[in-house]
Amino acid sequence: PIILDASAAIAAYLRTPPWRVQLRDVLAANGEARLQLPAAPVERGSVSITVGDDTLEEGVDFDLYPEAGILSRSGGWPGSFGLSSEFGLEAEGGSELPVYSATFHAGWILPGELKAWAPSLVVTVGDFVQPPWPAPLLHEVTVAGTMAAPAPTWGAGPGDSVTSGTATLVARGAVALPEEIAAACWQEVRERFYAEPRGDPALRSREVPGLDVTWETGRNGAGQGGLCSAEAAGILNPFRFLGSVL
């Protein structure tokens, strides 16, 4: 329970999932150059945008700022009646159209999901493999097996397929969980272990021998699961998703 509560508190304070997850959302546009996705970081190569019968391609029809979760489009993202001329859609009754349907992956790859490449490495579906430097991309295992030596020619872009031994992998634009967030998670678990049980839901601080803890509430937090210690919050602040335009 302590680990689950700590994970919920970290996620609530970050305002974005700290683990890799696929999300879907409908985005409204007003003609501006940028659209804000509801989470970050966003995995490069994972964003699919549909509007009407059209599918917009990342890197062709729009650019992605992965750290901020922002989609930038030359000429802007038409909204309302602007869609009629560009995408062949019609607004009903003069109301704003449900414009852009977005599907994408956000979050980080957790340490337990990531393996460093080595000869004879055994991998299972869903594992991520970290190639040796200077290969830039993590690779997701899509066919389980044992990797062979020497190292394969790693994918240069998201979606590139790689075969090594009996395993098949696909290059992804995902990123590993920053060490700072991992440290904050351990800090939160440690402080909860020594300070629990809290008992009173209104309690915001507690002092026990050798440890003085103050909890902060995330904007989306509610109850114990939405609280993280001030110490962990201080580590997490640079990674907090604010949903602001660059």
Q: What pLDDT is stored for residue 23 in this prediction?
A: 94
Residues 6+ apart with CB under 8 A from 135: 154
Helix, strand or coil, per DSSP, at residue 210: coil
Whether residue 147 contacts residue 164, with contact meaning beta carbons closer than 8 Å, is answered with: yes
C-alpha neighbours within 13 Å on the C-beta side of residue 143: 9
DSSP-derived letter for residue 27 is E
Question: Residue 37: its pLDDT value, please?
Answer: 93
Task: With CA atoms as reference, report the closest residue to 19 among 138, 106, 142.
Answer: 106
Distance, in Å, from the CA atom of 81 to the CA atom of 37, rounded to the nearest integer, reads 22
Q: What is the pLDDT of residue 195?
A: 63
Q: How many CB atoms lie within 10 A of CB 56?
A: 18
Of the candidates 186, 183, 197, 207, the residue with the CA atom closest to the CA atom of residue 1: 197
pLDDT at residue 226 in the model: 53
Backbone phi and psi for residue 195, each to the nearest 5 degrees, phi listed first? -100, -15
Q: Which parts of the chain have pLDDT scores under 70?
A: 1, 80-98, 195-226, 244-246
pLDDT for residue 122: 97
pTM exceeds cut of 0.75 = yes
Question: Whose structure tokens read 């019609």?
Answer: 90
Which residues touch 73 (CB under 8 Å, ≥6 apart)?
Answer: 33, 34, 35, 61, 62, 63
Distance, in Å, from the CA atom of 139 to the CA atom of 224, rounded to the nearest integer, reads 36
Q: Which DSSP string do the residues of 123-184 spell out, in sequence order?
A: E-TT-EEEPPTT---EEEEEE-EE--SS-----SSTT-EEEETTEEEEEEB--BPPHHHHHH
Q: Which residue has the tokens 């440890």?
A: 211
Q: In what order do the strands lie in the sheet with 70-72?
A: 34-36, 70-72, 63-65
Place of tokens 């040796």: 132
